[in-house]
C-alpha cells in the first residue's frame, strides 16, 4: 500500500493519540517514523507503531512527562525526559544542542530517561539543515553477543552522523553497531522473509537465516563493532548515570515499566573551525569525488553515505511511501494494540 507522507503521518498520529499520547507528542513520533519509512528504513517506521501503542497503553511511557533542561557547562547540558516518548525528547534535546553550538561552537547534550527514540538520522539531519555537524548515539537493550562471547551483553547501540554541503547537499549516516539492527529482523519477520546468515545466531550460537530463530545478533566487523558498541554504551549510559550493558531495560520484557534509556547528541559548528563556506564546499567536493571513483565489478557507482536513502526519499515523496498490508490494516483499524509484545523478552516475535 502506497501512502503520501501526509496520509501516513495522520494515520500514525491518530493511532498513538488514541493509545494515550497527547496530540503534539503523537505528531512528533509520527514525524520520526515517517522520516524512516520515506528513506526506506522500514525497520524504524510505521511497523513500530503497534509496539509503541501497547507500551503507551500499559503505562510504560509517561504520557504527561515534565521535561527538564539543565546546562552543566558552557557547551554541555542534560535533557531529562522523565521517561516520556523518546522521539519527542530526543528532538527537543537536539534543538537545544543546535542553539548551544551556534553560540559556543560545540554542544554536548546528554538525554536521560527516555523510551526508544527511533531512527537517529532524523535528529542529526536537523543539525545539518542548520549548517552544523550532528552526531547522535544511544544505548539499547542487550541482544548482541560480545566478540568471543556466547551470551548477549550490549545492545545494537547505533551511531548517526550528518554534515552539510552546498545547497541541499548533505552526508547522512546512520548505523547500528551490529551487522544489522534488530528492526531489520522484525521487518523480515513481518514479510516472512529469510535473513542473511551473517546477521545473527540461534540458541546454539550457530548462524541462522530464520528470523524467528534468532537468539542474538552479531557485532559488525567482529572485535571492531564490539568496541564501538562499548563506546556508545559508555557515552550514552555510564556517562549519564544510567543503567548500562546487560542492565539496560528490555524493549519487550515488561511494557508497564519505564525504560530509563540514554542518548547523546554532539553538535559542532564548522564556522569555529575551518569556516562554514570552506567546510560545506569540501563536503560537496567529497560527495562528488566519491561518485566519480571507478566502481568495482557489480556496482554502477560509488555512493556517498546517505545518497541512496535520499534518492529513495525523493522518489517516495513523488510516488508514495510503501507500507506492508499488515501494518496498514492495523493503522486503519479501531484496534489500539493486539497485546503482541508484552513479556516477550528481547526477541519478541
What letter would DSSP give residue 212? G
Using DSSP, state whether 86 is helix, strand or coil.
helix
pLDDT value at residue 70: 98
Tell me what the mean pLDDT of segment 44-52 comes to. Answer: 96
pLDDT band at 230 (very low <50, low <70, confident <90, very high): very high
Which among 130, 120, 145, 126 is positioned nearest to 261, based on CA atoms? 120
Q: Is the pLDDT of residue 348 over 60?
A: no
Contact yes or no for 21/29 (Cβ under 8 A): yes
User: Active-site residue 258, yes or no?
Assistant: no
Q: Convert the pLDDT of each residue in 260-299 to its tens digit.
A: 999 999 999 999 999 999 999 999 999 999 999 999 999 9
pLDDT band at 343 (very low <50, low <70, confident <90, very high): confident
pLDDT value at residue 347: 61
Q: Which of 25, 42, 116, 187 is catalytic?
A: 116
Q: Is the pLDDT of residue 22 over 80?
A: yes
Q: From the DSSP assignment, how many helices (H) and strands (E) are in the chain?
A: 10, 11
> Cα–Cα–Cα angle for 99, 81, 48, nearest 5°?
105
Span between the terminal Cα atoms of the chain, in Å:
23
Using DSSP, state whether 139 is helix, strand or coil.
coil
CB proximity list for 241: less than 8 A, separation 6 or greater: 112
Cross-strand bridge partners of residue 252: none
pLDDT value at residue 207: 86
Backbone conformation region of residue 345, classed left if phi is above 0, alpha if psi is from -120 to 50, else beta: left
Q: What is the pTM of this model?
A: 0.94
Integer Cα distance of 115 and 249 in angstroms: 10
Q: Which domains does the chain have, with CATH numbers?
A: 2-275+311-332 (3.30.1370.60)
pLDDT value at residue 159: 97
Tell me what the mean pLDDT of segment 11-37 comes to. Answer: 98
pLDDT value at residue 123: 98
Q: Is the pLDDT of residue 80 over 80?
A: yes
Taking the CA of residue 192 as centre, how many other CA atoms within 13 Å lie in the half-sphere pointing to its CB?
2
pLDDT value at residue 184: 81
Report strand pairing: 106-114 vs 76-84.
Answer: parallel
Q: What are phi and psi of 112, to 5 degrees?
A: -110, 150
pLDDT value at residue 339: 94
pLDDT band at 203 (very low <50, low <70, confident <90, very high): confident
Report strand pairing: 170-175 vs 159-164.
Answer: antiparallel
Which runs of E-coded beta strand occur in the chain?
A: 2-3, 68-73, 76-84, 106-114, 133-138, 159-164, 170-175, 200-201, 216-217, 261-268, 321-322
Integer Cα distance of 324 and 312 in angstroms: 17
Q: Is the pLDDT of residue 349 over 80?
A: no
Full strand arrangement of the beta sheet holding 170-175: 68-73, 76-84, 106-114, 261-268, 133-138, 159-164, 170-175
pLDDT value at residue 204: 80
pLDDT value at residue 195: 95
pLDDT value at residue 151: 84
Q: Convert the pLDDT of each residue in 175-194 to its tens digit.
A: 999 998 777 887 888 889 99
Please give the distance of CA 85 from its chain centroid, rounded to a whole number. 13
pLDDT band at 209 (very low <50, low <70, confident <90, very high): very high
C-beta neighbour count of 214 within 10 angstroms: 23
CB proximity list for 268: less than 8 A, separation 6 or greater: 101, 105, 106, 132, 133, 135
Tell me what the mean pLDDT of segment 232-251 comes to. Answer: 97
pLDDT value at residue 345: 64
Amino acid at each position: 500500500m502506497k501512502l503520501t507522507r501526509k496520509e501516513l503521518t495522520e494515520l500514525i498520529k491518530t493511532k498513538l493519540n488514541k493509545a494515550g499520547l497527547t496530540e503534539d507528542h503523537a505528531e512528533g513520533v509520527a514525524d520520526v517514523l515517517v522520516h524512516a519509512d520515506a528513506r526506506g528504513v522500514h525497520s524504524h517506521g510505521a511497523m513500530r507503531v503497534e509496539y509503541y501503542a501497547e507500551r503507551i497503553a500499559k503505562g510504560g511511557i509517561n504520557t504527561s512527562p515534565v521535561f527538564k533542561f539543565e546546562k552543566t557547562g558552557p557547551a554541555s547540558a542534560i535533557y531529562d525526559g522523565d521517561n516520556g516518548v523518546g522521539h519527542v525528547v530526543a528532538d527537543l534535546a537536539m534543538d537545544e544542542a543546535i542553539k548551544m553550538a551556534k553560540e559556543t561552537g560545540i554542544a554536548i547534550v546528554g538525554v536521560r530517561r527516555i523510551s526508544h527514540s527511533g531512527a537517529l538520522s532524523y535528529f542529526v539531519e536537523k543539525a545539518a539543515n542548520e549548517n552544523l555537524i550532528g552526531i547522535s548515539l544511544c544505548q539499547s537493550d542487550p541482544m548482541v553477543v560480545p566478540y568471543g562471547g556466547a551470551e548477549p551483553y550490549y545492545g545494537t547501540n547505533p551511531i548517526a552522523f550528518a554534515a552539510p554541503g552546498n545547497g541541499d547537499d548533505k552526508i547522512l549516516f546512520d548505523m547500528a553497531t551490529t551487522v544489522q539492527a534488530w528492526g531489520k529482523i522484525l521487518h523480515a519477520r513481518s514479510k516472512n522473509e529469510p535473513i542473511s546468515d551473517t546477521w545473527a545466531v540461534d540458541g546454539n550460537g550457530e548462524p541462522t537465516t530464520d528470523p524467528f530463530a534468532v537468539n542474538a545478533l552479531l557485532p559488525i566487523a567482529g572485535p571492531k563493532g564490539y568496541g564501538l558498541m562499548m563506546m556508545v554504551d559508555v557515552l550514552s549510559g555510564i556517562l549519564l548515570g544510567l543503567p548500562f550493558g546487560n542492565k539496560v531495560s528490555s524493549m519487550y520484557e515488561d511494557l508497564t515499566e519505564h525504560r530509563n534509556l540514554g542518548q547523546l547528541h554532539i553538535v559542532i559548528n564548522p564556522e569555529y573551525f575551518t569556516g562554514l563556506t570552506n567546510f560545506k564546499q569540501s563536503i560537496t567536493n567529497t560527495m562528488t569525488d566519491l561518485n566519480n571513483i571507478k566502481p568495482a565489478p557489480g556496482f554502477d557507482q560509488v555512493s556517498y553515505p546517505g545518497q541512496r536513502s535520499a534518492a529513495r526519499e525523493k522518489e517516495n515523496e513523488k510516488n508514495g511511501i510503501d507500507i506492508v498490508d499488515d501494518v496498514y490494516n492495523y493503522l486503519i483499524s479501531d484496534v489500539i494494540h493486539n497485546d503482541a509484545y508484552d513479556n516477550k523478552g528481547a526477541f519478541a516475535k
